[in-house]
Amino acid sequence: MRQISVGQKSGRMSGGDLFLIGAVLAWGINFPIAKYALDFMDPVTFSATRYLAASILLFGILLVKNTGIGISVREAGMLVIIGLLSVTLFQGGWAYGLSLTSASKASVLITTSPIFGALISAIMGNRPGAKAWVGILVSFLGVAVVINNSLTEITFNAGSIVGDLLIVGASMMWALYTYVSGPLVARRGPLLVTAWATLFGSITLTLIGIPSLIEQNWATIPTLGWLSWASTAIFGAALAFVWYCAGIARLGVTKGMVYSFLIPVVAILSSVILLDEVITPIQIFGAAIVLIGVKLTRSD
């Protein structure tokens, strides 16, 4: 039985809470910062280079902690698959989607990941209850409202909807990654798994993006653009994952994942402040529907 800390029993803030708050802040602010960096970098170039840098940082942390980094051939095969899902497909799709839609909308649409998680569980034989299915339907209704931005007419436009659908597709990849990586994370720890998966995923993304890397005009990236890239690599791509896994390990999945509800709130507020983005009342209504649906799905 998992030991419950005094902080959890009394309801006070614990170390797990602080780790998750740090992850939420890093991931929320990451949306507008990455959106700015993408003005100067191709999405594949942006994702491949920042995750390669993140993997170097994570291996550095492992070495400082004097943690062994050796893996078996079988584990390497699993880590390649995990890296393909979490970096190549999830981050590649997320960066392309973010370059085509607003940071505010992207932060709402990415919260649909638990819905896909429930669907994956159903396919694998662990069928969700009635409340979860209602939550799934409610969430997808909310997603449609956010993307359409109207309650009275169909207003989909080509450029934005492609970005929106890429974000939803990335959300699906994150759910699949969470499901596939679970057993290995439990056995080898989140830091080691994240470091190797990030390395393998970034190498795959780099090979795919060789033409983009060659064509990238590095000289035109301003200092603020490089600082934005570095921030997303250090905090959004590396430390936030470590903090998230550390928080989940301390609080458990059910209590810990509740904090992800705050990511779109932080992202929307920071996008309004940093990028002067505007989110309409209809989209706020749609975002609320999404969050209600996700909450229903998780509480079943």
18 burial class (0-12, 13-18, 19+ CB within 10 angstroms)? middle
CA separation for the pair 161, 125 (Å, rounded): 32
CA separation for the pair 236, 29 (Å, rounded): 9
Most confident of 29-43, 134-148, 237-251, 268-282: 29-43
Domain layout of the chain by residue ranges? 14-299
In the predicted model, what is the mean pLDDT of residues 21-34? 90
- In which band, very low, low, confident or very high, does the pLDDT at 24 lie, cut at 50, 70 and 90? confident
CA separation for the pair 52, 48 (Å, rounded): 6
In the predicted model, what is the mean pLDDT of residues 84-94? 90
CA separation for the pair 4, 250 (Å, rounded): 9
Q: Give the per-residue pLDDT at 267.
A: 84
CA separation for the pair 83, 48 (Å, rounded): 12
CA separation for the pair 68, 66 (Å, rounded): 7
Task: Answer yes or no: is pLDDT of 12 > 70.
Answer: no
Apex 247 CA angle, 31 and 63, nearest 5: 90
Q: Give the per-residue pLDDT at 1.
A: 37
Task: Answer yes or no: is pLDDT of 158 > 60.
Answer: no
Select the more confidently predicted residue: 26 or 159.
26
Any idea of the CA torsion for 174, 57, 189, 180, to the nearest 10 degrees? Answer: 20
Q: Give the per-residue pLDDT at 26.
A: 92
Select the more confidently predicted residue: 269 or 87.
87
Task: Give the global pTM.
Answer: 0.76
Task: Answer yes or no: is pLDDT of 227 > 90.
Answer: yes
- In which band, very low, low, confident or very high, does the pLDDT at 178 lie, cut at 50, 70 and 90? confident
143 burial class (0-12, 13-18, 19+ CB within 10 angstroms)? buried
pLDDT in tens, 72-84: 999 999 999 999 9
Task: Answer yes or no: is pLDDT of 55 > 60.
Answer: yes
Q: Average pLDDT of the chain?
A: 82
In the predicted model, what is the mean pLDDT of residues 98-111? 83
pLDDT in tens, 179-213: 888 888 888 888 899 899 999 999 999 998 899 89
Task: Answer yes or no: is pLDDT of 10 > 60.
Answer: no
Task: Answer yes or no: is pLDDT of 252 > 80.
Answer: no
In the predicted model, what is the mean pLDDT of residues 54-58? 93
Q: Give the per-residue pLDDT at 257.
A: 62
Task: Answer yes or no: is pLDDT of 5 > 50.
Answer: no
In the predicted model, what is the mean pLDDT of residues 280-290? 81
> For the residues of 41-76, what is the DSSP string, one character each?
S-HHHHHHHHHHHHHHHHHHHHHHTT------HHHH
Sequence-distant (6+) residues with CB within 8 A of 17 are 7, 247, 251, 259
